[in-house]
Amino acid sequence: MNITIEETLTGIANQLRIDSIAATTAAGSGHPTSCCSAADLVAALFFGHMRYDPKNPRYANNDRFILSKGHAAPLLYAAWAELGLFPREHLNTLRELSSDLEGHPTPRLSFVDVATGSLGQGLAVGVGMALCARLDNLDYRTYVLMGDGEQQEGQVWEAAMYAAYNKMDHVIATIDYNGQQIDGPVDKILSLLDLKAKWESFGWIVNEFDGNKIEDVIKGLELAKSQTGKGKPVMNLMKTVMGFGVDYMMGSHKWHGVAPNDEELKKALDQLEETIGDY
Ligand SMILES: Cc1ncc(C[n+]2csc(CCOP(=O)(O)OP(=O)(O)O)c2C)c(N)n1
Ligand SMILES: [Mg+2]
C-alpha cells in the first residue's frame, strides 16, 4: 500500500506521543503534554529532514539537535527508540535510578551532546556548536528546540544577539509556542508580546507555521533550510497546542509535569492509536 510522507510522519508523531505518555505513566512523573505539542516537529526533523547517521550518533558531521526544553526528554528517547538505537521497552525505565533515560537528557546517551533541562541554556550551546562547525570546516546544521515559557530566560537573548552578530547562519531554532508554561498561560505570567518582532529585531530570519499540522511543519522546515547560509540565523515560531492529540490534556497547563494514571493512560492510548495509521 502506498502512503504519503505526510501520513507516515503523522503516524510516527503519534507513535512518539504514545511512547512518551506511556513512559511517564510507568515513571509516575514527567511531562507528557510538553512532549505531545512538539511530536510533529520531532517526527519531521528526525524522519524526514535532518542529515545524520542514525547508527552513528557521534559522527562529526551529523546535524545537531539540542532539546533545550529538556523536560520533553521522553519525546527524544521515543524518537531514538523508533530509529532502532535501543528497544522500545527500555523507554519504560524512564527516571529509574539505574536507567540512563533520566528525566532530562544527559550526554551519557550517545545521541545527546549536552545536558539540558535548566531552561534558557540550549540556544547558547547550539550557537557554540555552530561555531565549532565553522572552526572545523564542517557544514552540519544545528537545530535547537525551545519552549515559549523558556523565552522568559535572559540567556536566550544573549545567545540571540551573539548568533546574529556573528552571522551564525547554520543555526535553525524552533520555539514550541504552545502558550503554556509550568504555572499557567505564558501571556499571563510574563507576556512575550510580539515575539516575531523581537526575534527580527535581534537580527534573525523568522518563520511562522502551525506545528501540529504535518504539511505545515514539513514546509516550514524546508523553508528554514533554504534560508540557511545567508548570513542570518533562522527562527521558526511554531504554533502548537500543549498535549496535542489527547483531548483531556489539550491546551491546559494543568497537565504540565503530571503523569497520567493507568486509566487515564488507556484513554490517551485509545485516542492516539486510532491516528497512527499504517506508517
Ligand atoms: C531554569 C529553569 N527554571 C525552571 C524550570 C522548571 N520548569 C520545568 S518545565 C517549565 C515550564 C516550561 O515551559 P515552556 O518553556 O513553555 O515549555 P513547554 O513545556 O510548554 O513546552 C519550568 C518553568 C527549569 N526546568 N529550568
Ligand atoms: Mg510552553
Q: Which atom of ligand 1 is nearest to the CA of 176?
A: 21
Look up residue 128 and give its three cell numbers. 557554540
Look at residue 164 and tell me whether its pLDDT is greater than 90: yes
Q: Whose C-alpha lies nearest to ligand 1, atom 7? A: 182
150 lines ligand 1 (CB under 6 A): yes
Look at residue 1 and tell me whether its pLDDT is greater than 80: no
- Ligand 1 pocket check: which of 40, 152, 181, 190 to mutate, most ligand atoms within 8 Å of Cβ? 181
From ligand 1's centre to the CA of 231, what distance in Å?
A: 31
Determine the pLDDT at residue 194.
98
5-273 fold: Rossmann fold (3.40.50)
* pLDDT (tens digit per residue) in 106-152: 999 999 999 999 999 999 999 999 999 999 999 999 999 999 999 99
Determine the pLDDT at residue 82.
98
* Cα–Cα–Cα angle for 257, 258, 262, rounded to 5 degrees: 150
User: Over the chain, what is the mean pLDDT?
Assistant: 97
Q: How far apart are CA 143 and CA 81, in angstroms?
A: 20
Q: Where are the domains of the chain?
A: 5-273
Determine the pLDDT at residue 49.
97
Determine the pLDDT at residue 278.
80
**CA dihedral sign of residues 106, 111, 113, 119:** negative
Q: How far apart are CA 236 and CA 239, in angstroms?
A: 9
